[in-house]
Structure 1
Amino acid sequence: MNTTTNNGAKQYFEQIYQRPVILEAKKLTQVFQHGKTQRTVLNQLDLKIHKREFICVIGPSGCGKSTFSRVVAGLDPYHSGELLVDGQPIIGPSPERGMVFQGYTLFPWKTVKENVMFGPLMKGASHASAEAHAREWINIIGLEKYENQYPHQLSGGMKQRVAIARALVNQPKILLMDEPFGALDPHTRQKMQKHLMDLWQNIDITIIFVTHDMDEAILLADRIVALKANPGEIKEIIEVDLPRPRSAELMLTPEFKRLREHVDALVHAQEEELDPALEELPKIPRMTQVSTHK
């Protein structure tokens, strides 16, 4: 990468680290109990996330990515350590931490507008106020023509946009996203990635984004938190020193490919450690007389 780009990246991260710490994990540990046995899923994680950062969390299956997002959301209590938002401990779910899952988790009996209104109504807003805020976010995500339709009438990308609007209408400090685009086709996924970057760059939000897709992590993140499994620990935190705004064309550059190779080595090395059988896959016996040779 050229010197100009390196200097720009250095200044960018200096600015990030000068911002307040919005989320801090101190020796965060999560243990699952299975009968008489225990399994440590997260092991003494120390992490500081700054206001308006875009963090991607990656790692092999079983490393605790989704577990981390659930304890930050307050959906699951953690075993030990500390987990703080603006210096205050997380003791349960809160509107200040919105959550978007891979499954769309919309209420199927409610329209788009009613789904987005749900959070404000639960917080005690009047029907008129909740409807006004819902409409504002429905317009932002570009679904104003579909506000009276039901989830089964929407495409996958539309459903996920509604889920994002339903989380953001509560004005959270942190948006947690657990594989939100994993079920989408590649073209829709790419459009949703761009839409999410546009949202993040224009609103006051910190995003923690869990993904298996290494290209997605590099395209979206300021920093990538790479976890290793058994137990889940931070293996490396990678600063993505690529200029913003980013587009899919960036994936063709040598700088992107360099980062991709580094992230790929981190994750795949762990996968082979977790499953040694991957190193010695058997030769498949011939079970057909039809040739594939030309």
Structure 2
Amino acid sequence: MQNNSQNAEFNAREYFDNIYQRSVILEAKQLTQSFKHGKTERTILNAINLKIHKREFICVIGPSGCGKSTFSRVVAGLDPYTSGEILVDGQPILGPSPERGMVFQGYTLFPWKTVKDNVMFGPKMKGQSHASAEAHAREWINIIGLEKYENQYPHELSGGMKQRVAIARALVNEPKILLMDEPFGALDPHTRQKMQRHLMDLWQNIDITIIFVTHDMDEAILLADRIVALKANPGEIKEIIEVDLPRPRDAEVMLTPEFKKLRQRVDYLVHADEDELDPALAELPVIPRMTKVSSQK
């Protein structure tokens, strides 16, 4: 657990002032995305205004249907938007680009390619020679600790290994922004915890900004500099929370009063409007008795 001297040395205001002095790498201005189905129109994202600074770690949370994944796909250039602007280094996003790497929850590796060939794919698409692409791929395979598995295929890897390969495949292109949409959602708790630590180590040692979508509130607090909490119907920014906990963080920080206080705040933001989002939750029926077995003595 982090000791008192570590906490005493951490100045949250100074930490965030330093972040806000960095250049803005991503900016959303009145970003809105709607789609029509017949005569009805549904707004997924509504007038999103957000500035993300270089080397920030941002987590995006919110109830189901709030537009978390839609926002990440718009930033990745995979989905269009209706109005407003979304800029990277002041330039509008017009489609996918290697400067914005994407890691999904599902294992999106090419099943017919080895680990090395999967990681080489991006550099080769950018026009690098086979030798150059292979050298870059090996560098990242070593960084993620899978050099012994470079000639294996995805079906021969565990879930955690597959996601490490997916991260390496995104980072080998040297993106400015790494977008991660529920990347650890399918992993068991132990592997998930190890992947969280590995991701924090990567982020602290390379020049990358991370936008991480998650429904796991503990994960968001453990990883983020700031948490962007969205509300649904329509998807709007409800609050942006500065996570004023010292870094580096580990799982034991979750036992501290400071973490628990943040957890209560985040939990309220995510769940406060659940009845409004799904009125059926407020009117759950009484279950009729259909068994003779009772929990009552």
What residue number does 2:233 align with? 230
The answer to whether the aligner puts 1:31 opposite 2:34 as a matched pair is: yes
| Counterparts of 1:182 and 1:293, CA distance in 2 | 37
Alpha-carbon distance change, 7 to 184 in structure 1, aligned in 2, over 3 angstroms: closer
| Counterparts of 2:144 and 2:290, CA distance in 1 | 51
The answer to whether the aligner puts 1:100 opposite 2:108 as a matched pair is: no
| Counterparts of 2:242 and 2:27, CA distance in 1 | 18
What residue number does 1:22 align with? 25
> 1:237-270: per-residue Cα shift (whole Å, max 9, x none)?
0000000000000111110000000000111112
Residues 182-191 or 271-280, more deviating: 271-280
- After superposition, residues 118-133 of structure 1 pair within 5 angstroms as 118-133=121-136
Report the secondary structure of 2:78's partner residue: coil
The answer to whether the aligner puts 1:59 opposite 2:62 as a matched pair is: yes
> 1:192-223: per-residue Cα shift (whole Å, max 9, x none)?
00000000000000000000000000000000
Alpha-carbon distance change, 5 to 209 in structure 1, aligned in 2, over 3 angstroms: farther
CA contact (8 A) 1:58 1:225 kept: yes
Q: Gaps spanning 5+ residues in structure 1: where? A: none
The answer to whether the aligner puts 1:279 opposite 2:249 as a matched pair is: no
- What is the TM-score when the length of structure 2 is the normalising length? 0.96
- What is the TM-score when the length of structure 1 is the normalising length? 0.97
- After superposition, residues 147-162 of structure 1 pair within 5 angstroms as 147-162=150-165
Instruction: Give the share of equivalent positions with the same residue, in percent.
Output: 86
C-alpha deviation, 1:7, in angstroms: 6.6
| Counterparts of 2:296 and 2:146, CA distance in 1 | 50
Report the secondary structure of 1:77's partner residue: coil
Report the secondary structure of 1:187's partner residue: helix
What residue number does 2:184 align with? 181
Residues 193-202 or 267-276, more deviating: 267-276
Residue 28 of structure 2 aligns with an amino acid whose one-letter code is A
The answer to whether the aligner puts 1:193 opposite 2:196 as a matched pair is: yes
| Counterparts of 2:266 and 2:168, CA distance in 1 | 31
C-alpha deviation, 1:77, in angstroms: 1.4
Aligned residues: 293
C-alpha deviation, 1:6, in angstroms: 9.5
C-alpha deviation, 1:114, in angstroms: 0.4
What residue number does 2:112 align with? 109
| Counterparts of 1:22 and 1:58, CA distance in 2 | 20
C-alpha deviation, 1:277, in angstroms: 2.0
Q: Gaps spanning 5+ residues in structure 2: where? A: none
C-alpha deviation, 1:79, in angstroms: 0.8
- Considering only aligned residues, what root-mean-square deviation do their CA atoms show, in Å? 1.5
CA contact (8 A) 2:33 2:82 kept: yes
Aligned mate of 2:248, from 245, 249, 261: 245
C-alpha deviation, 1:291, in angstroms: 3.4
CA contact (8 A) 1:6 1:241 kept: no
C-alpha deviation, 1:111, in angstroms: 0.4
What residue number does 1:84 align with? 87
C-alpha deviation, 1:287, in angstroms: 2.2
